[in-house]
Chains A and B, each alone.
Chain A
Amino acid sequence: MVALGPLAVATAVTLTALLAVLGLWWFGDRGRGRRTSAPERVPFTGGRAPRVHAWNRYHARYYPMALMFLAFDMEMVFMYPWAVVFVSEGLIAMIEMGMFIGILLLGVLYAWRERALDWA
């Protein structure tokens, strides 16, 4: 009986899973509601039927902004070693990090001027 233990557990799990799947199937079937007709499925734009397929390629305009975020996010990694030595180095570390962030900020301002932050 003890030897059959793991097998019994595995069988019980399988049976439970099977019952759960069948139960969900049965419930899903009950709750499915009506089948919709072809005109009921199309998107509504005011009463006219769509002429082209819903697939279309458009410009993901947040893309340059996402790239910029990644670039500047990675720069922040440099602040971890700096934070470790900040207490021992003191004011000089503060000034160096100020310069670093100042240069980064110029980059952001440049991107802003080039309208890279405009999504639309």
Chain B
Amino acid sequence: MTPLVRRLAARAPVPVYPIAGFGMRDAVQDLRLEEGLVLVDTPRAAALLLVAGAIGPKHRDAVARTHDALPHPRATVLWGGDGDGLAIADAPRIDRAADVVPALCDLFARLVLGSRPTEEPILADEDPIEWRGVGPYGQGGTGMTGGTPYGRPMADLGPDRDGLRLDVVPVEIGPFFARLPAGLVLDLSVAGDVIVEAKVASASLGVEREIQMGAARSPFIRALSGPVAIAELEVARARDHLRWMAGALHAQGMPSLGVRALRLAHEVQPGDGDQVRNFGRWTARTGLFHWSLPSGAGRLAPDLPGMGLGPVSRAAGLPEDLRLADPSYQALGFAPRVLDADDVGARWRLRVEEAAAALDLAARAGDAFAGLTGMVESPRGRLTPGDAPSDRAIALIPRLLEGLEWSDALAALVSLDLDLDESGLAVSVDAAVAV
């Protein structure tokens, strides 16, 4: 009986927790299109850990902690990157994208059938904080309220929004939290589910500059050092917005629509604006804007003028767009879409409209090349060597999150469309220009 159960289990979709290292964000997102895989949102629900691309030394401890959070039996697959310092013994290494899914499925089957042993924990079996007996509030100890003693201190008291004095819990989220870009660490103080204070503890993957310079470049990064065709830029912009939508829909608990958005991101061609508009209507029909997205949350208007945050600025009514200063775009009659709602929903709507308009513009552009050099309007805003829009957006996170409930905070963070890879690549272009 057991072998039959095991054989059936081995054929189930493989639950994978991915860690997208430098330059692997899109490649990991594309795994959502694979039938045989399920990308889960927590390592507790996964059987396999996929470490894709390079991860800097400062986050290797976090990789180990993520690895140890997987339940037994578990295994790891290293895709690209060197995997150095990750201390995961005999994890299969894969270089070609085509080999990833077969390798994951094969490893999962062997794990379930028992022909491959589970991976031992990487971190030592010791409590990070030494046990000091029963704490000042009776925490720890044994029995109903204590369980296994940890000896961690209790959270401090702070004022609650109802005038009470309740615990303010410090929580660090990231660097490998499923809804945030890999490398982003938020240091939050939370009272109940309301964020009282937010700080950004890390905003990079910390990989070496040589790896950054060797990574594949998007048309927007290439536009910083040479001319790129407008059609290519605009199709890439539409695809980038659709990829963002796929991730954001997933974050809103609509994975099937997210997969459709991702498929659309692969399929759209110049002139396919109406397809995107149709898809936008579909998402609106789900009631997303009425029920799911926090209305009026995530406002940033006072901080936005001059920030050049692309869709975030334009959703708040600021016509900030480098394409307006580009004679090639002027010749095509380009006018940016602008809304004046400045909240999470407005950023969704604007990105849908912009993706559709970009595809229409790409169809009109013919062989024209963008006219500006050394700067470009990326899908996230004004991009120049060494200065990426995500870096400027990250500076706004503390003000954005304070006072929001956790679910709204997450929706607001997702609406910023942070891309730490783009930041790293902009720095590497800066280095290349300086050399």
Contact with B along A20-59 (1 / 0, CB 8 A): 0000000000000110011111001111111111111111
Task: State whether the Cβ of B155 lies closer than 8 Å to any Cβ in chain A.
Answer: yes
Contact with A along B379-419 (1 / 0, CB 8 A): 00000000000000000000000000100000000000000
Residues of B within 8 A of A53 (CB): 135, 139-140, 150, 152-155
Residues of B within 8 A of A38 (CB): 125-128
CA gap between A49 and B152 in the complex, in Å:
11
Say whether B150 contacts A49, CB under 8 Å: no
Number of interface residues of B (CB under 8 A): 52
Task: Select which of B162, B166, B177, B191 is within 8 A of A45 by beta carbon.
Answer: B177
Contact with A along B59-81 (1 / 0, CB 8 A): 10111111011001000000000
Task: Select which of B69, B145, B162, B176 is within 8 A of A40 by beta carbon.
Answer: B69
Task: State whether the Cβ of B170 lies closer than 8 Å to any Cβ in chain A.
Answer: yes
Task: Select which of A34, A47, A55 is within 8 A of B137 by beta carbon.
Answer: A55
CB distance from B161 to the nearest CB of A (A): 8
Using known A-B contacts A51-B170, A51-B172, determine if residue A41 contacts B148 with beta carbons closer than 8 Å: yes
Task: State whether the Cβ of A4 lies closer than 8 Å to any Cβ in chain B.
Answer: no
Using known A-B contacts A40-B121, A44-B44, determine if residue A59 contacts B162 with beta carbons closer than 8 Å: yes
Residues of B within 8 A of A55 (CB): 137, 139, 145, 154
Task: State whether the Cβ of B197 lies closer than 8 Å to any Cβ in chain A.
Answer: no
Say whether A50 contacts B127, CB under 8 Å: no
Across the interface, name the chain B residue whose C-beta is closest to A120: B405
CA gap between A52 and B137 in the complex, in Å:
13
Say whether B128 contacts A46, CB under 8 Å: no
Contact with B along A93-120 (1 / 0, CB 8 A): 0000000000000000000000000001
Residues of A within 8 A of B85 (CB): none
Say whether A49 contacts B148, CB under 8 Å: no
Which A residues, 68 to 108, have Cβ-Cβ distances below 8 Å to chain B?
A: none
Majority SS of interface residues in chain A?
Answer: loop
CB distance from B146 to the nearest CB of A (A): 10
CA gap between A21 and B95 in the complex, in Å:
53
Using known A-B contacts A40-B68, A56-B167, A58-B167, determine if residue A46 contacts B176 with beta carbons closer than 8 Å: yes
CA gap between A46 and B63 in the complex, in Å:
9
Task: Select which of B72, B155, B162 is within 8 A of A33 by beta carbon.
Answer: B72
Task: Select which of B69, B150, B152, B153 is within 8 A of A44 by beta carbon.
Answer: B69
Say whether B137 contacts A46, CB under 8 Å: no
Say whether B176 contacts A59, CB under 8 Å: no
CA gap between A53 and B154 in the complex, in Å:
5
Which B residues, 134 to 167, have Cβ-Cβ distances below 8 Å to chain A?
A: 135, 137, 139-140, 145, 148, 150, 152-155, 160, 162, 164, 166-167
Say whether B166 contacts A57, CB under 8 Å: yes
